Amino acid sequence: MDFNSIITSTPHYNFHSHTQFCDGRADMETMARAAVAAGMKHYGFSPHSPIIIPSPCNMSMDSVDRYLDEVDRIKSIPELASCRFYAAMEVDYLGAEWGPACGYFRCLPLDYTIGSVHFIPNQEGEYFDIDGHFDRFRETMAEHFREDIDYVVDTFYRQSADMIRAGGFDILGHFDKVGQNAAYFAPGIEDGSHYRECVDRLIDLIVERRPVVEMNTKARQEHGRFFPGERYLPRLTDAGLTIVVNSDAHHPDRIDASRDEAMSLIDRLRHAYA
């Protein structure tokens, strides 16, 4: 897909949303109707992909065909014709054995994929979800990561770099997402040199490989932050990277949440570096 062409022609798009096939909070037709009501011209369904470890938030392989059929059905509804709908997935990277570059995803009839890291291996090599609500993260830190936040941060960014090198995705999803839970667990960690070095190394790789980068607005209303954080945006805009602004909607009323604010910020930075 030519994301740059779409985003330069209209601000009315959202390429990251979730469905009843994963952890979305409404059925796909409800989300589609909300997208049309919000004036969207391009809208992508991107359920959390099937993965090879147990997860209550990811779709099953058995549901993939039903998901694709539902996208086709929604495309056929006449009153939704003002918006173009896409079949996508947010694909979890679990190392060399599973991720966006895996042959399974390359064989699916998807319009695009988002590559994201939600799971990382602990010190014993077992994968656990470090995304989601902080209460769960705090329990996971105690039960599975020996409360070693530096290990979690290092591993998250190393996994992210490995995913970028492996490729196979069309959009790089919320590449500093670990920062939210890490900051709640260890206030001030994002201002420390170690954390900043981890992010800077990843951005160096992003600038080198030049993927389409997502600016994710999901946490703006509740947590006051974007992914990536505002402090990192100048490097991305200065490098001329394509940045898509997605709301990561799990609810119909979040289809367009905080996207205008994010777009205005990106525009200001692009003009500042023009």
pLDDT in tens, 17-43: 999 999 888 999 999 999 999 999 999
Do 178 and 152 form a contact (C-beta atoms < 8 A)? yes
Give the residue among 45, 21, 1 at the shortest CA–CA distance from 249. 45
Letter for the amino acid at 130? I
Cis peptide bond upstream of 47, omega within 30: no
**pLDDT score of 149:** 98
Q: With a cut of 60, say whether residue 96 has pLDDT above it.
A: yes
pLDDT classification of 264: cutoffs 50, 70, 90? very high
**H runs (alpha helix) in 3-107:** 3-9, 28-37, 64-75, 103-106
- Whole-number Å distance between alpha carbons of 253 and 256: 8
Q: With a cut of 60, say whether residue 116 has pLDDT above it.
A: yes
Give the residue among 73, 58, 63, 60 at the shortest CA–CA distance from 28. 73
**pLDDT score of 273:** 58
